[in-house]
Structure 1
């Protein structure tokens, strides 16, 4: 498990007074401010966050040390991280996406299906993007209790019962 978890990203400037467009990856988008200070992946910069309003596809926010549109634009694409210990504990059947990436996926008989490359949310359910052995394209596996009955973070593995034909 990673020591830092990505909780958001800066999508660019919002307006001309140094506000940023902020994409939040937290369950309740506004909660991203509660985890501040947020830092860049390398830890070189750290920001306090003040959410100013909701906007289309995200939030408008003020970050400490960002005073101009040019400062905000320079941060476009910057991912924001927090140390894992600042995040709340999750119930047994919930997982941080960062913890699932890299896990080995097998079927219920133990045959390898691939490794988790990413976790996508399509609005209804999450999808695990897998790199499957012998396949050129990735496979999207629905991340539901019926299809993924076992996630064992300690062993670094997921057991799945994929729908018929998904891996052919």
Structure 2
């Protein structure tokens, strides 16, 4: 499956109990909606799962996945990220974006000068940060993904216009 057509919607945190249930972390806006996007696939496409949420637990859900019947099978899947086809996910409002849509976009300043390319989207609690790979530099730059610092995201053109805080992209 083409990675650009899939979105990471969750991850397996290992076994929950001894009957093959897993700890499921949901990355969807409404966490319990992860089951609505099934069947979900592993990143490499080797595993396909239907999802049944059993109950909410700390930091996620206890869930049953098709084909997983024992604690050992559930533990073997710890860390597996789960993907859904992009077209199965809801359309977002104009000012919201799936992280996967931002990765790889070119970043320009408000004067049209190329600053780099979005490598990842990170969130350490406060707000999203765009990790920008800058040509000619080994270190990346973390650009706040706020309306002030990133006034324009043009997915159709494959570019972001940024107005970064002073000195952020200076050598």
TM range (shorter): over 0.9
The answer to whether 1:119 aligns with 2:106 is no
Q: Displacement of 1:140 after TM fit? A: 0.9
Alignment match of 1:94 (pick from 93, 96, 101): 96
What is residue 76 of structure 1 aligned with on the other side? 78
Deviation (angstroms), 1:86: 0.4
RMSD: 1.4
Matched with 1:51 is 53
Deviation at 1:15, TM superposition (A): 1.7
1:8 CA displacement: 0.8
> Structure 2: 5+ residue runs without aligned partners?
none
Residues 11-90 of structure 1 mapped to structure 2, 5 A cutoff? 11-90=13-92
CA distance in 2, matches of 1:68, 1:10: 14
Q: Distance in 1 between matches of 2:167 and 2:55?
A: 45
**Residue 162 (structure 1) aligned to one of 155, 161, 164:** 164
**TM-score computed with the length of structure 1 as normaliser:** 0.93
Q: Distance in 2 between matches of 1:80 and 1:25?
A: 10
1: CA distance, partners of 2:162 / 2:80? 34
SS of the equivalent of 2:4 reads coil
Once the two structures are TM-superposed, the CA of residue 13 in structure 1 deviates from its matched residue by: 1.1
TM superposition shift of 1:23:
1.4
- Mapped to 2, the partners of 1:14 and 1:138 lie a distance apart of 38
Secondary structure of 2:10's partner?
strand
Tell me the equivalent position of 2:139: 137
Corresponding position: 1:10 with 2:16: no
TM-score, normalised by the number of residues in structure 2: 0.92
Aligned residues: 168
Paired residue for 1:149? 151
